[in-house]
């Protein structure tokens, strides 16, 4: 078939997932060829780039044992790779038909080892050695060639990230342990030797080392299981050959052959002995196995106890625990290396964990949730790499968990949209409700993540974490319930790392840890110190492949200079090798050094200076790229770096190559290998990270102060150059980190204006995520960018920045700054609506901290702007209230409340502003004062009757109904206004008010409906409260629902369970009155079930009745005390202790004013009557 114009292709010889192999001939000269043709006529850019990569590698490897590449041809909308036709078959096809003899296997093995040695010498690692990629021609002379270099790398080592097995590059059956990403070891040339060992194992025994099909089981096997030696399965295999294969299959790369040349020597020796004596006698292996490379030992030294502590915590999390392990130590001491060992241990224990990591940065410490966002990005990346069925299952669970609040998380981590899909917008809520909603959505999201498997999160460099991120720790680890009907979630291990000496008692991390402990969270500490001399000696001996006695003098010298810091000493060894001070002696087959010369040469005084000198030896263009990358951050994308570098992504990747080759920078994505043309490269999201903070620090320090500022300014101006378009919100915070650093150097008014606007957007986004400290910082930066001239040039922007900042400063705890801003804003307000907006916000913030008098004062001042005067004396206020009620009757004008549902919407801006203020002030209910509460209620209702409805009308109607029922005993009208409230809520769909509305109806509807009908409203209130974050009214609804269920005679076990869950929830929502009430209901149900100390006792299950009564004396606890005596009266009556029942009822009655006509007071009247009747008439007075 003629698919390529210059070639004639025959039938396909192999079909893969993305490509088909055809045999054919070159038309010009008839030379046999094999063409690798992409299946799709419109292939993905990655498929095209992989063929380009393979072609480039093969053109570099002109070797007898490697398939030659003839050309890379255009084909349809992609390319085709034209290869030589060796005339052979894949080794997989050969062994599928026949079992090869020992001599043939050894000849193939010698040829492969020779080829691999040559490939490795040219700085290429194949990474997918297996029978399918080995082409053999079995006739003489035997021909063996390596093929398929599609995932090969030209780096001396790579770090494989942990991924789902199905997402790993390579072939699981033959994959080295370090390729799984679960070993904390690099992929290097010895990786190919393991895969060659697995291939030889199959050639000798007829089966691979681990003949299993389950991907996770295969990963576990490569990491933790040892296969039986080939000789155990095939006795004809000589012991020495079996030993060679088992050495190749060692789990640790240090225990394998260190070079293909060393392996070839031993295989050739076996072949010679077999030829001369017909048997391969045993001999000492690896005698000629010295690679000459300096490979730092990847073992973990001196950390056995710490690793045991960490592993135990992980196993507890696997069993259902939730805890934090904080690892502290100086930079370079090995905190990340310790955590990196965890995947290997968990895989060995057959524990299926989802492990994700995120890092905070010093330059980004003002950015909210940066480390948490990176953790969640890692989580999303891993989930999306799983099979489609698993993704769908996880997506469904997460969507159920986040409900209508998913956009809160998507705003924080835009990548979540790839997993969750588009999310509905969330309603704007008050500060308290917004914080509660965010906390609940985060809790429920992580609860759902851990429902199927344990989760381990690694948060590095917590000393640089923002306060909002640190506040998540108690949320995640103490009380992870997702609602009143669900228990706590566990299966979570959070590992934090922080630098020693940078976290004192006043640090936000210390405060967060204290809060976590107070909330009952488990916190364990691991302190990592430097390595002792003995471990340094072992490390150097293993690295230099010599005895400890020989390594000891060098170890003492290095230890003296580095203090036993693992990262520092590893870099010192590399520097000595690069300088020729650690040289490989080919004749001796070992490293040699001259201590005196090393002493004379001197070593760098600190690791930053050492890394800086290493960077300065790079090519100029590589240095420039690296310095620009350091300005971006610890992690950076190729696209951004290319923009800053002023070159294409391909050119920038080439400039960065020197830093990759030196191991200063590591690629985070396999696509870094595929940067061959700008067309395909543009479709890849290639990112990198610095190997270590100290390298990042050194690169950043090399930029002189002015030039560093210029670099940030360049980044900022490139971002500003987007014209009138908004900055991509995904990168907004990152952009502002640079722009705000150099704001003083932005002279153009339009640049400063836009910087102010972007900071306003960032502040609002941070506020929505309840990161109030960060939000205030952005808003301060926005104000500074505009300067004093901003009031004249951009008055609306200047006003908005200060108004938002006033709110965020208050919520962040800086009340003085907030008050100053409010005072500055009021005279700047251009209209009374704008002035009222400032005063209303002031009132809202006062209410969040229960400053009711201050809130009322601000609200009264705002209402006066619209001609609404609030009388100051109780008498005058009462008269105004009565007058307002009469006005309601006049304004109704014969209409029933049901007639009002279709009334038009309010259009008068003054009336709308006044309604917003009134709605704010009545939310605390009678706590602001019963008469004032009544006056504000009737004032709001009259505004609605005169001017029409707003989205707040439903709350106004239900509040008015509450007052009619609970205060004025006008129950029929209360019912009508409750029905109006429901109709208006259906019309306007104000989700932020749904909880309050249903709770209030549930509280007073017993006056005109059977009490069980109240439960439906109270249950809806709980669900709405979970969605909106209205935990106060959710807690009220929960208490009332459980109390009614007890009074209505529900099954006691169910009541106790609901009350117990309610106690836990209200403890977390910190609504003490409801927590106490639910605890009373729980113990009353326990008493009725006979599970307390006595019939009339509430003691039991840790509850101390006497202590409870003592704690609830005084005016602030009147309602709790009333509920206590009521329940005691019920117990006494039911146990026929009628005198005691009457005494308890009298105590409750004395406190009944606190009950506000709640249903419990109906119960009090009922049991008082029953007890009075049962006690009979009082005894006649004794005759004189």
Range list of H helices, 333-462:
335-340, 342-348, 370-384, 388-402, 406-412, 416-420, 431-449
Q: Which CATH number fits domain 304-527: 2.60.120.10, 3.40.50.300, 3.30.70.141, 3.40.50.11540?
A: 3.40.50.300
pLDDT at 728: 55
Identify the CA nearest to 1003 among candidates 953, 1051, 967, 954: 967
pLDDT at 229 over 90: yes
Identify the CA nearest to 383 among candidates 375, 373, 391: 391
Computed over every residue of the chain, the mean pLDDT equals: 89
Identify the CA nearest to 808 among candidates 789, 780, 832: 780
For 477-496, the three-class secondary structure string (H helix, E strand, C coil) is: HCCCCCCCCCCCCCCEEEEE
Q: What is the DSSP string of 753-819?
A: HHHHHHHHHHHHHHHHTT-HHHHHHHHHHHHHHH-TTHHHH-HHHHHHHHHHHHHHHHHTT-HHHHH
Angle at 1177 between CA 1171 and CA 1181, to 5 degrees: 135
Identify the CA nearest to 165 among candidates 180, 151, 175: 180
Spans of all domains in the chain: 7-84, 91-277, 304-527, 533-603
Task: Give tens-digit pLDDT for 250-273.
Answer: 999 999 999 999 999 999 999 999
Task: Give tens-digit pLDDT for 78-106.
Answer: 899 999 999 899 999 999 999 999 999 99
Q: How far apart are CA 272 and CA 114, in angstroms?
A: 16
Range list of H helices, 545-647:
548-562, 566-578, 595-601, 607-616, 620-632, 638-645
Output the six-digit token pair for 299. Answer: 């073992």
For 1136-1152, the three-class secondary structure string (H helix, E strand, C coil) is: CCHHHHHHHHHHHHHCH
Q: Which residues pair with 459 in a beta bridge?
A: 358, 496
Any long-range contacts for 216-221 (C-beta under 8 Å, 24+ apart)? Answer: 216/165, 216/352, 218/165, 218/172, 218/173, 218/175, 219/165, 219/172, 219/180, 219/182, 219/347, 220/347, 220/348, 220/350
Q: Which residues pair with 158 in a beta bridge?
A: 187
Residue 636: strand, helix, or coil: strand
Output the six-digit token pair for 809. Answer: 């400063």
Output the six-digit token pair for 51. Answer: 């063929």
Q: Which residues pair with 137 in a beta bridge?
A: 143
Mean pLDDT, residues 575-593 taken together:
89
Contact status, residue 257 vs residue 272, Cβ threshold 8 Å: no
Q: How far apart are CA 138 and CA 113, in angstroms?
A: 18
Output the six-digit token pair for 409. Answer: 């998380």
Please give the share of the chain, as a percent, with pLDDT higher than 70. 97
| Least-confidence region, from 471-485, 832-846, 1046-1060 | 471-485
pLDDT at 720: 57
For residue 875, name the pLDDT band (cuts at 50, 70, 90). very high
Neighbours of 425 (CB within 10 A): 7
User: Which DSSP letter does residue 931 get?
Assistant: H
Output the six-digit token pair for 1027. Answer: 């969605």
Contact status, residue 503 vs residue 463, Cβ threshold 8 Å: yes
Contact status, residue 833 vs residue 910, Cβ threshold 8 Å: yes
Can you tell me which residue has the tokens 């005109």? 1008
Can you tell me which residue has the tokens 């690798």? 36
pLDDT at 790 over 60: yes
pLDDT at 714: 80
pLDDT at 620: 95
CA 146, 148, 154, 157 torsion-angle sign? negative
For residue 505, name the pLDDT band (cuts at 50, 70, 90). confident
Task: Give tens-digit pLDDT for 1014-1038.
Answer: 999 999 999 888 888 888 889 999 9
Count H helices and E strands in the chain, helices first: 51, 18
Q: How far apart are CA 294 and CA 543, in angstroms?
A: 7
pLDDT at 804: 95
pLDDT at 818: 92
pLDDT at 3: 54
pLDDT at 1182: 65
pLDDT at 489: 57
pLDDT at 734: 76
pLDDT at 870 over 50: yes
Q: 675 or 679: whose pLDDT is higher? A: 675
pLDDT at 339: 93
Task: Give tens-digit pLDDT for 12-32.
Answer: 988 888 899 999 999 999 999
CA distance readout (Å), 357 to 160, 771, 1045: 14, 21, 46
| Least-confidence region, from 425-439, 752-766, 786-800, 897-911 | 425-439
Mean pLDDT, residues 57-77 taken together:
93
Q: 302 or 161: whose pLDDT is higher? A: 302
Please give the share of the chain, as a percent, with pLDDT higher than 90. 61
pLDDT at 748 over 50: yes
User: Which DSSP letter does residue 593 get?
Assistant: -
Mean pLDDT, residues 149-177 taken together:
89
Can you tell me which residue has the tokens 């696209």? 639
Contact status, residue 546 vs residue 555, Cβ threshold 8 Å: no
Neighbours of 591 (CB within 10 A): 20
For residue 811, name the pLDDT band (cuts at 50, 70, 90). confident
Q: How far apart are CA 1090 and CA 1097, in angstroms?
A: 10
Question: Domain 7-84 belongs to what topology?
Answer: Phosphorylase Kinase; domain 1 (3.30.200)
Q: Which CATH number fits domain 91-277: 3.40.225.10, 3.40.50.1580, 3.40.50.2300, 1.10.510.10?
A: 1.10.510.10
pLDDT at 483: 39
Can you tell me which residue has the tokens 């040829």? 111
Q: How far apart are CA 957 and CA 952, in angstroms?
A: 9
Any long-range contacts for 1156-1161 (C-beta under 8 Å, 24+ apart)? Answer: 1156/926, 1156/966, 1157/965, 1157/966, 1157/967, 1157/1004, 1158/966, 1158/1003, 1158/1040, 1159/1003, 1159/1006, 1159/1011, 1159/1014, 1159/1040, 1159/1043, 1159/1044, 1159/1047, 1160/1043, 1160/1047, 1160/1122, 1160/1123, 1160/1126
Q: Which residues pair with 90 in a beta bridge?
A: 135
439-453, 531-545, 676-690, range with greatest mean pLDDT: 531-545
Q: 344 or 193: whose pLDDT is higher? A: 193
Angle at 121 between CA 120 and CA 127, to 5 degrees: 10
pLDDT at 848: 78
Q: How far apart are CA 775 and CA 798, in angstroms?
A: 16
Q: How far apart are CA 593 and CA 434, in angstroms?
A: 65
pLDDT at 926: 77
304-527 and 7-84 share a CATH fold: no
| Least-confidence region, from 516-530, 576-590, 708-722 | 708-722
Mean pLDDT, residues 43-57 taken together:
93
Task: Give tens-digit pLDDT for 364-401.
Answer: 777 888 899 889 988 998 888 888 888 999 999 999 99
Sequence-distant (6+) residues with CB within 8 A of 602 are none
Q: What is the dihedral of CA 790, 363, 413, 428, to 10 degrees?
A: -30
Contact status, residue 381 vs residue 650, Cβ threshold 8 Å: no
Contact status, residue 495 vs residue 533, Cβ threshold 8 Å: no
Which strand (E) or helix (H) includes residue 672?
none
Mean pLDDT, residues 963-968 taken together:
89
Strand order in the sheet with 687-690: 635-637, 687-690, 665-667
Cis bond upstream, residue 141 (ω within 30) = yes
Contact status, residue 195 vs residue 130, Cβ threshold 8 Å: yes
Identify the CA nearest to 653 among candidates 631, 634, 664, 637: 637
Kindly provide the residue ranges of all beta strands, DSSP E only, lying in 243-385, ordered along the sequence: 322-329, 354-359
Mean pLDDT, residues 234-244 taken together:
96
Q: How far apart are CA 127 and CA 169, in angstroms?
A: 8
Task: Give tens-digit pLDDT for 278-337.
Answer: 788 899 999 889 878 888 888 899 999 999 999 999 999 988 899 999 999 999 999 999
pLDDT at 966 over 70: yes
pLDDT at 602: 76
Identify the CA nearest to 697 among candidates 629, 636, 643: 629
For residue 51, name the pLDDT band (cuts at 50, 70, 90). very high
């Amino acid at each position: 078939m003629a698919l390529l114009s210059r070639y004639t292709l025959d039938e396909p010889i192999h079909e893969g997932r993305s490509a088909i192999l055809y045999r054919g001939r070159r038309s010009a000269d008839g030379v046999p060829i094999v063409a690798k043709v992409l299946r799709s006529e419109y292939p993905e850019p990655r498929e095209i780039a992989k063929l380009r990569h393979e072609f480039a590698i093969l053109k570099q490897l002109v070797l007898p044992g490697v398939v030659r590449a003839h050309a890379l041809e255009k084909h349809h909308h992609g390319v085709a790779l034209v290869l030589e036709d060796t005339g052979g078959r894949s080794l997989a096809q050969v062994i599928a038909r026949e079992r090869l003899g020992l001599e043939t296997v050894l000849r193939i093995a010698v040829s492969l080892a020779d080829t691999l040695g040559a490939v490795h010498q040219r700085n290429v690692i194949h990474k997918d050695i297996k029978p399918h990629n080995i082409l053999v021609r079995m006739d003489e002379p035997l021909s063996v060639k390596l093929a398929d270099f599609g995932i090969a790398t030209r780096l001396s080592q790579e770090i494989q990230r942990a991924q789902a097995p199905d997402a790993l590059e390579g072939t699981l059956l033959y994959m080295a342990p370090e390729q799984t990403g679960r070993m904390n070891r690099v992929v290097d040339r010895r990786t190919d030797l393991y895969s060659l060992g697995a291939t030889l194992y199959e050639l000798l025994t007829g089966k691979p080392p681990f003949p299993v099909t389950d991907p996770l089981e295969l990963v576990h096997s490569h990491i933790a299981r040892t296969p039986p030696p080939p000789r155990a399965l095939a006795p004809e295999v000589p012991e020495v050959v079996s030993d060679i294969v088992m050495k190749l299959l060692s789990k640790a790369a240090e225990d394998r052959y260190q070079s293909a040349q060393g392996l070839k020597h031993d295989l050739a020796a076996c072949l010679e002995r077999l030829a001369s004596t017909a048997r391969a006698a045993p001999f000492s292996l690896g005698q000629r196995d010295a690679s000459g490379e300096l490979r730092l030992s990847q073992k973990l030294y001196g950390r056995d106890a710490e690793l045991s502590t960490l592993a135990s915590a992980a196993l507890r999390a696997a069993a259902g625990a939730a805890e934090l392990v904080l690892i502290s130590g100086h930079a370079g001491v090995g905190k990340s290396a310790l955590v990196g060992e965890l995947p290997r241990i968990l895989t060995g224990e057959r524990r299926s964990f989802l492990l994700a990591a995120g890092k905070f940065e010093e330059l980004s410490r003002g950015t909210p949730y940066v480390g948490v966002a990176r953790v969640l990005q890692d989580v999303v990346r891993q989930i999306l790499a799983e099979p489609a069925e698993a993704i769908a299952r996880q997506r469904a669970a997460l969507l159920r968990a986040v409900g209508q609040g998913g956009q809160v998380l998507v705003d924080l981590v835009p990548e979540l949209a790839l997993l969750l899909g588009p999310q509905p917008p969330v309603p704007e809520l008050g500060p308290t409700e917004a914080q509660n909603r965010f906390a609940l959505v985060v809790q429920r999201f992580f609860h759902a993540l851990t429902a199927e498997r344990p989760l381990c999160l690694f948060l590095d460099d917590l000393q640089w974490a923002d306060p909002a991120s640190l506040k998540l720790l108690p949320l995640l680890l103490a009380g992870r319930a997702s609602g009143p009907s669900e228990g706590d979630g566990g299966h979570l291990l959070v590992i934090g790392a922080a630098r020693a000496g940078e976290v004192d008692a006043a640090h936000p991390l210390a405060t967060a840890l204290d809060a976590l402990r107070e909330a009952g969270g488990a916190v364990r500490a691991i302190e990592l110190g430097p390595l002792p001399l003995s471990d340094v000696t072992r490390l150097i001996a293993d690295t230099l492949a010599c005895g400890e006695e020989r390594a000891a003098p060098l170890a003492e010298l290095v230890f003296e200079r580095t203090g036993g810091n693992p990262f520092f000493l590893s870099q010192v060894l590399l520097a000595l090798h690069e300088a020729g001070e650690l040289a490989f002696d080919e004749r001796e087959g070992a490293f040699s050094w001259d201590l005196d010369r090393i002493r004379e040469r001197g070593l760098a005084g600190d690791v930053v200076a050492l890394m800086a000198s290493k960077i300065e030896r790079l090519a100029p263009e590589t240095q420039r790229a690296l310095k620009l990358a350091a300005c971006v951050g610890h992690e950076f994308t190729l696209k951004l770096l290319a923009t800053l570098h002023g070159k294409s992504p391909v050119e920038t990747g080439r400039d960065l190559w020197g830093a990759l080759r030196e191991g200063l920078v590591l690629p985070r994505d396999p696509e870094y290998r595929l940067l061959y043309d700008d067309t395909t490269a543009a479709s890849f999201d290639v990112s990198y990270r610095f190997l270590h903070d100290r390298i990042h620090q050194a690169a950043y320090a090399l930029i002189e102060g002015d030039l560093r500022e210029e670099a940030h300014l360049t980044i900022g101006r490139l971002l500003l150059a987007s014209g009138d378009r908004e900055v991509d919100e995904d990168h907004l915070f990152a952009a502002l980190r640079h722009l705000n650093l150099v704001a003083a150097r932005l002279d153009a008014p339009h640049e400063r204006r836009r910087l102010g606007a972007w900071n306003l957007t960032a502040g609002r986004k941070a506020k929505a995520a309840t990161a109030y400290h960060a939000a205030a910082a952005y808003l301060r930066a926005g104000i500074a960018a505009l300067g004093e001239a901003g009031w004249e040039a951009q008055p609306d922007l200047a006003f908005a920045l200060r108004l938002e900042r006033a709110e965020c400063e208050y919520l962040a705890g800086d009340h003085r700054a907030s008050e100053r801003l409010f005072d500055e804003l009021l005279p700047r307000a251009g209209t009374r609506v704008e002035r009222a907006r400032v005063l209303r916000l002031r009132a809202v913030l006062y209410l969040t901290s229960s400053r009711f008098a201050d809130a009322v004062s601000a609200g009264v001042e705002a209402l006066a702007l619209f001609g609404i005067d609030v009388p100051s004396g109780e008498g005058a206020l009462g008269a105004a209230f009565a007058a307002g009620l009469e006005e309601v009757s006049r304004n109704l004008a014969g209409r029933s409340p049901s007639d009002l549902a279709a009334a038009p919407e309010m259009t008068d801006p003054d009336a709308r502003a006044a309604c917003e203020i009134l709605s704010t002030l009545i939310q605390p209910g009678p706590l602001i004062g019963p008469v004032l509460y009544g006056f504000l209620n009737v004032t709001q209702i009259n505004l609605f009757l005169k001017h029409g409805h707003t989205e707040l009308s439903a709350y106004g109607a239900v509040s008015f109904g509450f007052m009619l029922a609970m205060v004025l005993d006008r129950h029929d009208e209360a019912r009508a206004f409750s029905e109006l409230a429901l109709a208006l809520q259906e019309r306007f769909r104000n989700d932020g008010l749904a909880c309050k509305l249903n709770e209030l109806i549930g509280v007073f509807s017993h006056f005109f409906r059977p009490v069980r009908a109240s439960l439906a409203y109270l249950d809806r209130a709980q669900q709405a409260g979970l969605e909106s974050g209205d935990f106060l009214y959710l807690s009220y609804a929960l208490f009332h629902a459980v109390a009614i269920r007890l009074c209505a005679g529900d099954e006691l076990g169910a009541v106790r369970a609901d009350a117990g869950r309610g106690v836990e929830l209200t403890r977390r929502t910190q609504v003490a009155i409801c927590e106490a009430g639910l605890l009373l209901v729980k113990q009353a149900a326990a008493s009725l079930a006979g599970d307390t100390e006595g019939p009339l006792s509430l003691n039991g299950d840790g509850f101390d009745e006497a202590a409870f009564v003592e704690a609830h004396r005084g005016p602030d606890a009147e309602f709790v005390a009333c509920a206590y005596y009521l329940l005691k009266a019920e117990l006494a009556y039911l146990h026929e202790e009628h005198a005691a029942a009457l005494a308890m009822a009298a105590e409750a009655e004395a406190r009944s004013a606190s009950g506000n006509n709640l249903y419990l007071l109906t119960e009090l009247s009922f049991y008082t009557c029953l007890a009075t009747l049962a006690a009979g008439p009082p005894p006649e007075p004794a005759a004189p």
